Amino acid sequence: MSNPKQLSVQALQWNGHSLNVLDQRLLPETITYDEYRDAAGVTEAIASMRVRGAPAIGIAAAYGVVLSAIQHYPANDWQERVATDIAMLAASRPTAVNLFWALDKMRQQLSVDNPEPIAALSQLAQQIHQDDIAANHAMGERGADILGDAKAVLTHCNAGALATGGYGTALGVIRSAHQRGHLQNVYADETRPWLQGARLTVWELAQDGIPATLIADSAAAWLMKSGKIDWIIVGADRITANGDVANKIGTYSLAVLAKQHGVKVMVAAPSSTFDFSLETGDSIEIEERNPKELLAECYLDPDSLVNAWNPVFDVTPAELISAIVTERGVVLDPGKHGVRSLQC
């Protein structure tokens, strides 16, 4: 049984002067941490998905700002140089709002006149990291309350410790529910084309001894039809004021299927994932990655003449979601109420 206070796997390790990033492209075969000492390296680590998952890329970017300050301070124009690095980090990936949220916090701290600026930036980045872990534990408890005695759930992508500061959002709820002894099986779909479910989620759950069953993405409808699951639980990359949720491509399909089969959909996300500046999910920029990633996954020559379209997120309308769980509270039926009640 998992210990909720214990971090079974860590995507990011800060050691005061550099950031160690677990290269998630190589999991589960190889566990390798790469050491980064500047913002350019962290930008590349995010863009190439060595580190991925909305909260984790926000935390990595915050540490990237600290590395920039360490590199440039005390040059006369060090703050301008750090601001340039912040713009570079912000351009690494477009959809997860946690990235921009964390960089905004770091930018505000940068503008504060402080005799120890590096210590202040470092402290803030570590606070962002620790707050994320605490939020995940709080969500885990709230989400487990809602699940009650549900026996089996399906999750999509990887919204676990690997995607966050630790413990996970969707997998945090699953960890907490498993701790309570009700949850007997967690289905994880492969999550093509990057295979976050197959390569990361089932591996992460296995580390904690939580029973996990991998399914092909195309088996999800049949799984629901068979009555084997009570809930789908996912994380989010951005949630707009009306409760629309951007998450890994395929989440929308699952939510549509869930409606047909009477399965409920839970989204677990910290408040750093909310974008109240956008009314609806129509305004969210959806990242489209290099088609070669998709072609390679299908064993097609990436330089062949075959076309591929590779959007890596989609938007699930609020009305298809049963519950949005955050560390601040829960909104049931967000399609009816939106999520402004969670705004500070």
Which residues form the interface with ligand MRU (CB under 6 A)?
Answer: 52-55, 96, 157, 159, 163-164, 169, 196, 234-237, 247-248, 312
How far apart, in Å, are the Cα atoms of 81 and each of 25, 35, 86? 30, 22, 9
Of the pair 89, 163, the CB lying nearest ligand MRU is at: 163
Q: How many helices (H) and strands (E) does the chain have?
A: 11, 14
Quick check: is 145 catalytic? no
Of the pair 235, 338, the CB lying nearest ligand MRU is at: 235
Q: In what order do the strands lie in the sheet with 313-316?
A: 274-275, 238-240, 245-248, 313-316
Strand partners, 313: 248
Question: What does the DSSP assignment read for 158-194?
Answer: --SGGGSSSS-SHHHHHHHHHHTT---EEEEE--TTT
Residue nearest ligand MRU (C-beta atom): 235
Cα separation, 154 vs 139, in Å, equals: 18
- 83, 111 contact by CB (below 8 A): no
To the nearest whole angstrom, how small is the minimum distance from the Cβ of residue 92 to ligand MRU?
A: 11
Of the pair 195, 300, the CB lying nearest ligand MRU is at: 195
Of the pair 69, 133, the CB lying nearest ligand MRU is at: 133
To the nearest whole angstrom, how small is the minimum distance from the Cβ of residue 252 to ligand MRU?
A: 12
Name the active-site residue from 132, 237, 244, 275.
Answer: 237
To the nearest whole angstrom, how small is the minimum distance from the Cβ of residue 41 to ligand MRU?
A: 18
To the nearest whole angstrom, how small is the minimum distance from the Cβ of residue 54 to ligand MRU?
A: 4
Helix (H) or strand (E) holding 259: helix 251-261
Question: What does the DSSP assignment read for 31-87?
Answer: --EEEE-SHHHHHHHHHTTSS-SHHHHHHHHHHHHHHHHHHHTTSTTHHHHHHHHHH
Of the pair 105, 199, the CB lying nearest ligand MRU is at: 199
To the nearest whole angstrom, how small is the minimum distance from the Cβ of residue 292 to ligand MRU?
A: 16
Q: Which residues contact 284 (CB under 8 A, 6 or more apart)?
A: 95, 238, 240, 244, 246, 275, 278, 313, 315
Of the pair 157, 318, the CB lying nearest ligand MRU is at: 157
To the nearest whole angstrom, how small is the minimum distance from the Cβ of residue 62 to ligand MRU?
A: 16
Neighbours of 225 (CB within 10 A): 12
The residues that are catalytic are: 237
